[in-house]
A = this chain, B = another copy of it.
């Protein structure tokens, strides 16, 4: 009986695969937008909340923004103190578009974390107190590739073990881009876990031609990445985002936002860091929640998608 059931499953799976292969092959060289059923020149946008798990304040803001449909995706810093809270929430709310924000740095002065692994296993990633280094520069100089790979895999594995089914992988402060060996590990994680990674097409020029060529057909490459930076804030918060939205291009765009509730906890964490600090994050939360922002998306014909759709297409037969 077990064998029959098993065989029936295999046969059904084979038929389904054939069908999907047929459909996608029949679509020829369609781009991501077309594969998702939109016109070829569509401006697709993932609105992405970084740093889930960093603090309760961030989790509150992220959950609010997900529930309001103000964001379409987010990613979790698995080694942080509040990761268990957000991972439990994601487990209890299946279908949330949440990935892994690979973390190898701990940038705040008095609120720190180390790795998922036993500290003895990853000494090159840690300072004398077994916390991650504060900066990508320090990490890039000190990190041994084998230890970094061990830690990054442990973070993804911990998320799965906590009931999260990640939609994608990205990286806190660009830490996995700290040196060429780390970049290779980052790329390999996409293959190992069958997950899209945040990787702007512009970065391809960093690589030797053969590696760039193997990557350039990847469906998940980001055509345009927008993240608010301190030098962009000349006028109102909305003005900087308005410019960002107006500059989105046909293809896959991602807008990274940093959300938090501006409260005692977040103020204490980010003390001394105005950029991406507590007030900054509240501004971002207010921004994505505002009717003005949503109207801008609409008037610029932006099509919102999540990483989940990219992941599912990437793993469909014959789509790379």
Residue interface bits A50-92, CB-to-B below 8 A is 1, else 0: 0000001101100000000000000000000110110010000
Stretch at the interface among A25-33, A226-234, A259-267, A305-313: A259-267
This protein's copies in its complex: 2
Please tell me if the beta carbons of B111 and A82 are within 8 angstroms of each other in the complex: yes
0/1 string, A182-221, CB within 8 A of B gives 1: 0000000000000000000000000000000000000000
Given A56-B268, A121-B120: A129 in contact with B111 (beta carbons within 8 A) = no
What is the minimal beta-carbon distance from A168 to any residue of chain B, in angstroms? Answer: 23
Interface residue total, chain A, C-beta cutoff 8 A: 28
Closest to A112 in B: B84
A119 within 8 A of B: yes
Q: Indicate which residue in B57, B88, B113, B158 contacts A264 across the interface (CB closer than 8 Å).
A: B57
A1 at the binding interface (Cβ < 8 Å): no
- Complex contacts, A121 vs chain B, CB 8 Å: 118, 120
Q: Report how far A130 CA is from B56 CA in the complex, Å.
A: 21
Question: Which chain A residues (105-124) contact chain B, with CB distance < 8 Å?
Answer: 110-113, 116-121
Query: Which residues of chain B come closer than 8 Å to A116, judged between CB atoms?
Result: 130
- Asked whether, in the complex, the Cβ of B111 is within 8 Å of the Cβ of A81, the reply is yes
- Residues in B whose Cβ lies below 8 Å from that of A261: 264
Q: How far is the CB of A159 from chain B (nearest CB, A)?
A: 12
Which of A56, A119, A121: most chain B CB closer than 10 A? A56
Residues in B neighbouring A119, C-beta threshold 8 A: 117-119
Within the assembled complex, what's the spacing in Å between the Cα atoms of A158 and B128? 11
Contact string against B for A residues 14-53, beta-carbon threshold 8 Å, 1 for contact and 0 otherwise: 0000000000000000000000000000000000000000
A85 with B110: CB separation less than 8 A:
yes
Contacts of A269 in B (CB 8 A): 56
Contacts of A265 in B (CB 8 A): 56-57, 263-265
A-B contacts besides A84-B110, A85-B111, A120-B121, 13 pairs, CB < 8 Å: A56-B264, A56-B268, A57-B264, A59-B268, A60-B264, A84-B111, A85-B110, A88-B110, A118-B118, A118-B119, A118-B120, A118-B121, A261-B264
Chain A: residues with CB nearer than 8 A to chain B? Answer: 56-57, 59-60, 81-82, 84-85, 88, 110-113, 116-121, 129-130, 158, 261, 263-265, 268-269
**Can you give 6 A-B contacts (C-beta < 8 A)?**
A56-B268, A59-B268, A60-B268, A81-B112, A84-B110, A118-B121
